[in-house]
Amino acid sequence: MQAARLAIFGVAAVAAVGAGLLALNLGKAPPEPIIISAQPVQPPIKLVEVLVASKDIGMGSATAGALDWMKWPEDGVTETLIRRDKRPDAIDELKGTVARQSFFSGEPIREAKLIHSDRGFMSAILPTGSRAVAVQISPDTSAGGFILPNDHVDVIMTRARPTVEGQPASFDTQTVLKNLRVLAIDQTIEEKEGERVVVGSTATLEVDPNQAEALTAAQRMADRLVLSLRSLSDSVPGSPGYAAFLLEQAKGPSHNEIRLVRYGKTTNLTAGN
């Protein structure tokens, strides 16, 4: 009888505790919901493959083995670039081409800057009406070998005067032509004071027809022709000093004449600029 009473009291106590806990929970405010806000998803960037230089390509160098495909954002691809989805065989199609201008590794290939080797490289880079004339040079007559294609030079002619007995030797020096662009150099790479320089035996210069005749005559008459390297700032159109160069030529143009005797006939060639 005593045990039954204890059991009843125990059940009543547990029920009372449970009722109290339930009352406490009912009195509390419900927890605030946790809101997870998702960041806006960026639209994916569509990529396409374009033809690029897989390594540096120098002007006049063959492109064979130097072309590859690279992924580029489609929004940045212009009509001048070569896309793989439009020209999948472009690498084979351009295998026999030569670079009209230099390309850096990773630079997109533009077909306008390429020349097919069967069309002639030099004739393709010559502007309309211009000619290409080769001049014999050496390191001591070409700024120590630091003259490179696309540099601009003056051509200086030196001739020895007839010697007079008892008098020291004398020379005539004359600037024959000014501001000529170097198209190419018969190149040999050498080390000079720790730097790689280009040393050549022939420089090809861009001239007009009259300058071509004057330069040809000067090579026959001169004891030595020297190429004087011009600063880039006064030799290229659009550079700071080019306008001053043109103004100087307009004020006092140089009309150096070279007298050419051919088949008994004397002709004065004007070696202007």
CATH number at residue 90: 3.90.1210.10
Residues 219 and 160 in one domain: yes
Asked if residue 239 is part of any domain, the answer here is no
Distance CA 118, CA 124 (A): 11
Distance CA 63, CA 260 (A): 44
Count structural domains, the chain: 2
Asked if residue 220 is part of any domain, the answer here is yes
Residues 101 and 143 in one domain: no
Residues 166 and 213 in one domain: yes
User: Which tokens in the block code for residue 265?
Assistant: 């006939």
Q: What was the pLDDT predicted at 83?
A: 94
Distance CA 184, CA 50 (A): 30
- Containing domain of residue 66, as a range? 47-116
Closest C-alpha to 270, from 214, 221, 194, 232: 214
Residues 106 and 143 in one domain: no
Residues 107 and 139 in one domain: no
Classified as helix, coil or strand, 71 is strand
Asked if residue 124 is part of any domain, the answer here is no
User: Which tokens in the block code for residue 160?
Assistant: 């020895």
The Cα-based distances of 29 to 19, 25, 32, 271 in angstroms read 18, 9, 9, 102
Asked if residue 255 is part of any domain, the answer here is no
∠ Cα 256 260 263 (to 5°): 165
Asked if residue 25 is part of any domain, the answer here is no
User: Which tokens in the block code for residue 2?
Assistant: 């005593």
The Cα-based distances of 132 to 3, 135, 156, 206, 209 in angstroms read 126, 10, 18, 5, 9
Asked if residue 123 is part of any domain, the answer here is no
Distance CA 36, CA 17 (A): 38
Q: Using an 8 Å Cβ cutoff, are 68 and 92 in contact?
A: no
**How large is the greatest C-alpha to C-alpha distance in the chain, in angstroms?**
160
Residues 58 and 93 in one domain: yes
Asked if residue 30 is part of any domain, the answer here is no
Residues 109 and 160 in one domain: no
pLDDT tens series, the chain, 273 aa: 566 666 665 656 666 666 666 656 655 556 667 666 666 666 688 899 999 999 998 877 788 889 999 999 988 888 999 999 999 999 999 988 888 788 899 999 998 888 876 666 677 777 788 898 888 876 655 555 677 778 888 888 888 777 666 666 677 788 888 888 888 877 554 445 555 555 567 888 999 998 898 888 888 887 888 888 888 777 777 666 666 666 666 665 444 555 544 444 445 555 555
* Domain end position, chosen among 69, 91, 116: 116
Q: What was the pLDDT predicted at 55?
A: 92
Distance CA 131, CA 84 (A): 38
Give residues with Cβ within 8 angstroms of 169, minimum separation 6.
Answer: 160, 161, 163
Asked if residue 158 is part of any domain, the answer here is yes
Q: What was the pLDDT predicted at 30?
A: 62
Residues 101 and 54 in one domain: yes
Residues 60 and 106 in one domain: yes
Q: What was the pLDDT predicted at 228?
A: 86
Q: Using an 8 Å Cβ cutoff, are 136 and 219 in contact?
A: yes
